[in-house]
Every structure is written in C-alpha cells, then in structure tokens.
A and B are shown apart, each in its own frame.
Chain A
Amino acid sequence: DAKTTQPNSMESNEEEPVHLPCNHSTISGTDYIHWYRQLPSQGPEYVIHGLTSNVNNRMASLAIAEDRKSSTLILHRATLRDAAVYYCILSNFGNEKLTFGTGTRLTIIP
C-alpha cells in the first residue's frame, strides 16, 4: 500500500497562508489524495481531495506535484480555528479504506 509522510508539527502565524506538505513517493496512478483534519475534541473533518489536477474549495486548495509524488494543502489565510491535526491519505480501488496516519499538528500563533 502506498504510504504518506508528513511533518509531525508545524506552526504558522494567524492571517498568513499555510502550506502543509505530504510526500507519497510510492503513489500509484489510480491513488486519490485526501486531506482530513481533526480539531481538538472533535471527529475528523473532510477538507479536500484530488487525483492529478490542483483543486480548490471553500476551505483550502490542494496542489499536486506533476509527478504526483507529493502534494501540498494550502490554507490561504489561517485563523485560530484552523489549529488541528491534518491528515494526508491515499486510497484507490482495492484499497478504498481511509488509513489515517499520525498527521501534522498545526499550531496557529495569534
């Protein structure tokens, strides 16, 4: 199964953009890239997903490298409410389960 690697923790200042990296060097051509986040005392929350092209939604943007071996979740303007653990997950046919790793703990500095 393709694995993802994320930094354990990151800090960012409030109202600045945040770039959360994810490496997935063994990704297959059919793997989708998903991002979820988990705020304190809450269940995980879907953020965004993509396959090959960059994706945007109201929460974030997903930038996928051309070789797809890495991706970056972009929060355009961080708020204190964005402090959470962010998970980068791969799935594809035959391995559809969302396998959560340890994620990146994002701290927002006021």
Chain B
Amino acid sequence: ETGVTQTPRHLVMGMTNKKSLKCEQHLGHNAMYWYKQSAKKPLELMFVYSLEERVENNSVPSRFSPECPNSSHLFLHLHTLQPEDSALYLCASSQDDIRVLNQPQHFGDGTRLSIL
C-alpha cells in the first residue's frame, strides 16, 4: 500500500472513445505527476502539478489532458488516442514539487491502457 491509488487498473478503449484515468493520494502531498511506461521503454514524465497548478508539460500530445482539481486528486482525460498510446500510465506524488530536491516520489500501481 503506497498511499497512491489509481483507477481503473485496466482499461481497453477504441480510438474514438473518451475516458479518464483517476489518481488519488492519501499522503497529504502537494505535488502530483503522470508518467507513461511503454513496453521495453523507460518511464517518461508527462505532467507535473504543484499545489494544483501545472508546472511541467513534457511535450505531451493534446489528446492527453490532465486535470488537478485539488492536491489529492489527479485525472488524465483521454480522447482520440492512437494504438501507440497503449502503455502503463503511472501516477506519483511527493511532498513538494520536483524543484525541491530530495523529495521521494510515491507511485501508484498504474492503469494498463490498451487502445484497439
């Protein structure tokens, strides 16, 4: 139990569907992150939020739309995805944002996304 919960654990969707991934952290952290882990590729940072404000967008296509309504919740809205977007999407949180070094990140177990 890491204190970071992601739902759903698995998601299959068509390219024209719209869906959302949810992340919730119970650690009282102020920063939250989305990562993408494709098969046989390293984790890639997608977005960083600090105190509900986006502080980093790592050149992610607009078909991925993050939302952070409060410091405990983070969403990733998906629309018109491509087959190459099939991957494990991981959420993480840390006490402060990455500009404060030495902040261990706590990860959820991810959502396995498959695009048909």
Number of B residues near A (Cβ < 8 Å) is: 20
- B107 A44 Cβ-Cβ under 8 A: yes
Take A49-B104, A91-B101 as given contacts and tell me if A43 and B109 are in contact as well, using a CB distance cutoff of 8 Å.
Answer: yes
CA distance A44 to B42 in the complex (A): 12
- B106 A98 Cβ-Cβ under 8 A: no
Chain B residue numbers with a CB within 8 Å of A43 are 2, 4, 90-92, 107-110
Report if A97 contacts B (CB, 8 A): yes
- B92 A96 Cβ-Cβ under 8 A: no
- A96 B98 Cβ-Cβ under 8 A: yes
CA distance A36 to B106 in the complex (A): 10
A residues 45-94 near B (Cβ < 8 Å) are 45-46, 49, 91-93
Contact with A along B16-32 (1 / 0, CB 8 A): 00000000000000000
Report if B114 contacts A (CB, 8 A): no
Chain B residue numbers with a CB within 8 Å of A99 are 42, 45
Name the residue of chain B whose CB is nearest to the CB of A46.
B104
- B105 A98 Cβ-Cβ under 8 A: yes
Q: Contact check: which of A41, A91, A101, A102 meets B109 at CB < 8 Å? A: A41
CA distance A99 to B4 in the complex (A): 20
- A100 B43 Cβ-Cβ under 8 A: yes
Q: Mark B residues whose CB is within 8 Å of A.
A: 2, 4, 42-43, 45, 56, 90-92, 98-99, 101-102, 104-110
What are 6 A-B pairs at a CB distance below 8 A?
Answer: A32-B102, A45-B2, A91-B98, A92-B101, A96-B101, A99-B42
